[in-house]
Amino acid sequence: MVAVVNIQLNSFFLAADEKKSPMVDMREVEKIKKLLRKADKDKNGCYNRDELKNALKDLGAYFPAWRTNRCFANVDSDNDGQISGHEIDHLIDYLLSCGYGK
């Protein structure tokens, strides 16, 4: 009985670790980056809400306005209404965690 419990617990923790740090497919990252570059209309390297919403539409978001709000809530750390600098890396991580880029 103890061995069965240990095996089940080990399987649980391994599954949790796999969900926490999945392997990143660089093709997915590049797809997101490409769509972000396309959506950056003023070519300033930052993304406002409209630009991000357009990128999310291209990524196939069902509710791009809602997802845009969630992105800003999660990654706009300086609350300046733009996603820029290191926030872009966080945005890509967030979008990958939501299943975009596939």
pLDDT tens, position by position, 30-70: 999 999 999 999 999 999 999 999 999 999 999 999 999 99
Q: Class of the 23-97 domain?
A: mainly alpha
pLDDT of 4: 45
Q: How far is CA 68 from CA 5, 29, 61, 62, 91, in A?
A: 43, 18, 10, 11, 10
- Give the whole-angstrom CA distance, residue 6 versus residue 39: 50
Task: Please provide the average confidence, as pLDDT, over all residues in the chain.
Answer: 85
pTM of the model: 0.75
pLDDT reported for residue 14: 44
Q: What is the pLDDT of residue 22?
A: 59
Spatial contact of 47 and 82, defined as CB atoms under 8 Å apart: yes
- Would you call 28 helix, strand, or coil by DSSP? helix
Instruction: State mean pLDDT over 12-40.
Output: 75
Separation of alpha carbons 24 and 66, rounded Å: 25
